[in-house]
Amino acid sequence: VGRFGASADIDGDVMVIGEPEAELAFSEPCPSACGGVWVFGRYGSGAVDWSTFYRVNAPVVTPDEQFGTAVALSHDRFVVGAPGTGRAYVFNLTANPTFSPPSGPAGAVATLTSTDLGFGATVALDAFHLAVGAPTAGVVTVFRLVSSAPGLETWTSEASVAAPPSAGAGFG
């Protein structure tokens, strides 16, 4: 129904799974495709059972946002693409083993936006860089983490990579 599993990433004992067409934001109904992301984890060495830690919604639940179309996880940070509104949201995982929901304004420590059509349809993340694709526009924007404070991060656009002439439709 909500396309649970449309995107997924794993890093160690934490996994994030996107559900971009979910129509329920916690207990609030959403008219259409607001989306959501589920965070799972496992405890102990050799643990094979994954448990749901929490669900994350966009800071402002918006119809047709498609929050969770793309997800990427790296260490204690994950990014969620929402191409319906041209956004990518960055969240930090808490350091304690209970994995409480992210803190800060509705959980997001950074919100990146673009006027490029489809921005947020693809995402990739490492410790200090984030790539966000906009396949409808044929571009990928690379961001660099410039400062990190509790509850707030600053990312700056470092490069924009346009589709090469030989690339097919949907680059990004």
Write down the pTM of the prediction.
0.88
Residue ranges for the chain with pLDDT beneath 50: 96-106
pLDDT at position 96 is 43
Cβ burial 43-62 (10 Å sphere, 16+ → b, else e):
eeeeeeeeeebebbbbbebb
Q: Specify the pLDDT at position 11.
A: 92
Tokens encoding 155:
């990312």
Taking 3-state DSSP, the helix, strand and coil percentages for the chain, each rounded to the nearest 5, stand at: 0, 50, 50
Give the pLDDT confidence score for residue 145 in this predicted structure: 94
pLDDT of residue 47: 65
Query: What is the reported pLDDT for 9?
Result: 97
Q: What is d(CA 164, CA 60) in angstroms, rounded to the nearest whole number?
A: 35
